[in-house]
Amino acid sequence: MYNYKTIKIENSDEFVEKKSKFIGYAKPVVTEAEAIEFVRKIRSKHPDATHNVYAYKVRENNIQRYSDDGEPAGTAGIPTLDVIQKEGLTDICVVVTRYFGGTLLGAGGLVRAYTKGAKIAIDAAEILEKSYCFEYTVNIDYTMLSKIQSEAAAMGCIAGEVVYANDVTLTFFVPYALEGFEERLIDISNGRAIIKKCGSGKYVDVK
C-alpha cells in the first residue's frame, strides 16, 4: 500500500437526536493496541454513558473490528465501520458515545445516528492522504529555481524545504511508483542539477 488515507488529528464533535446525545470521537492509530487503548480512554471518560460504540481499522495485519456495545445488532458498530470504509480510511479508531434521552430511535434511526456520529468525528479530525516516497535534495542555481519546481510539481512530487544560500537546495519527496525523476531533472538543467537521494523511503503527507 503505497498510498493510503487516514486522519490528521484526534478530535470530536457531537449532536442531539430526539433528546439522545451522541458524541463522536476519532483518533489516528497505527496498531490495534493503540485503538483498544483509545476505546478504553473514551469509556473511562464517559463511564455513565448508555453506550460507547466503536470501530477501528489498521494496516497492521489488515485488522478491522467493531462493537455495538449493547445496541441492537447491526445498528451501531457496523454503520460506524461503514463510514470508515466508505471514506477509504485506515489507521483510525472511531468511538461514538450515546447518552439515551428517553425516546427510542428505532433500528433505522440508530443506523442514521451512529453513521452521523462517526462522520462528524472524522470530519473534525480532518482526512489526510499519505504517500510512500523517497526523499531527494536538488542543488541548483537561482536561474533554474522556477523551472525545477514546476517540473517536479508536474511529475507529482511533493515539495519540501527550500534552503537559499549562494545557490538553492530543494527537497522533494518522490512517490515510489514515479520513474525517471533524476533523469528528467538532469535533462532540463543540462546536467547542472546536483541530485542526491536521502536514505530509504517513508510515508509523507500529501499536500
pLDDT in tens, 4-34: 999 999 999 999 999 999 999 999 999 999 9
Do 23 and 117 fall into the same domain? yes
pLDDT over 90 at 77, yes or no: yes
The CATH code of the domain that includes 182 is 3.30.70.240
Strand 127-140 and strand 194-205: pairing?
antiparallel
Q: Are 117 and 42 in contact (CB under 8 A)?
A: no
162 and 110 share a domain? Answer: no
Q: Span 147-158, mean pLDDT?
A: 95
pLDDT at 207: 67
Any alpha helices (H) in 87-195, and if so which ranges? Answer: 106-125, 145-155, 181-188
- Kindly report the pTM of this predicted structure: 0.86
Domain that holds residue 35: 3-125
Asked if 77 contacts 69 with a C-beta cutoff of 8 angstroms, the reply is: yes
- Tell me the C-alpha to C-alpha distance, in Å, between residue 26 and each of 46, 54, 157, 159: 15, 10, 30, 29
Choose the final residue of a domain: 94, 125, 156. Answer: 125
Per-residue pLDDT, averaged over 42-58, amounts to 97
Q: How far apart are CA 162 and CA 156, in angstroms?
A: 17
Task: Look at residue 1 and tell me whether its pLDDT is greater than 80.
Answer: no
CATH number at residue 67: 3.30.230.30
In the sheet that holds 63-67, the strands lie side by side as 11-17, 20-28, 92-99, 51-58, 63-67
